Amino acid sequence: MVQYAAGQIIRANEINSLPQMYRVTTPQICNNSTAQRDITGLAFQGDANASYLVECFLAYHATEAGDIKFAWIVPAGAAGGDSPIYTGSWWGVYGVEPGSSGGTPGLLDAAVKSIITDFHARSGDNVVPSLAIPITYLQLGGTSGTCKLQFAQSNPAVHDTTIRAGSCMRVSRLS
């Protein structure tokens, strides 16, 4: 990160390239629905033909029956595709999956995927909170617009699936 001295002139392009932080201020709840919903607070305006590194720290709670899944909504024209070599946008999710027997840290979804593919992650019981750390490289096309993270239950359940307050996202513009 750039270090500035007192009295130094800072150019607009330097300020615009600093990482931006976003966070969830109130719990986001999904109950008995597999329909993706926005995670309020985890969205940013992407510029046309720009690329971004997006790092998230998501604390969540989900039941073994309901599970949780994440997805990105991005402007039309964002590069992607499920090819073996990712030349466009991609993402992966790392975190802790408790499982019904306590679980261990590990990949929630082991494959690097196209930005247009959702990730299924699980939480194994009704008590233990979980952690997911999605990391995304996003390459926008000629259309600017809102880039937002969403979540849903992987399977309908009678218990809530919750993104906890304090979950956050850091967005760094790369080009």
Domain 20-173 falls in which CATH fold? Jelly Rolls (2.60.120)
pLDDT on residue 82: 43
Phi first, then psi, for residue 55 (nearest 5°) are: -115, 125
Q: Taking residues 65-77, report their average pLDDT.
A: 79
Q: What is the pLDDT of residues 158-175, one digit of tens each?
A: 678 889 999 999 999 988
8 A C-beta contact, residue 92 and residue 134:
yes
Note if the pTM is more than 0.75: yes
CB-based burial label for 78 (10 Å; 0-12, 13-18, 19+): buried
Residue 85 confidence (pLDDT) above 90: no
The ranges assigned to domains in the chain are 20-173
Query: What token pair was written down for 175?
Result: 């080009």
Q: Classify 116 in phi/psi space as left (phi over 0), alpha (psi -120 to 50) or beta.
A: alpha
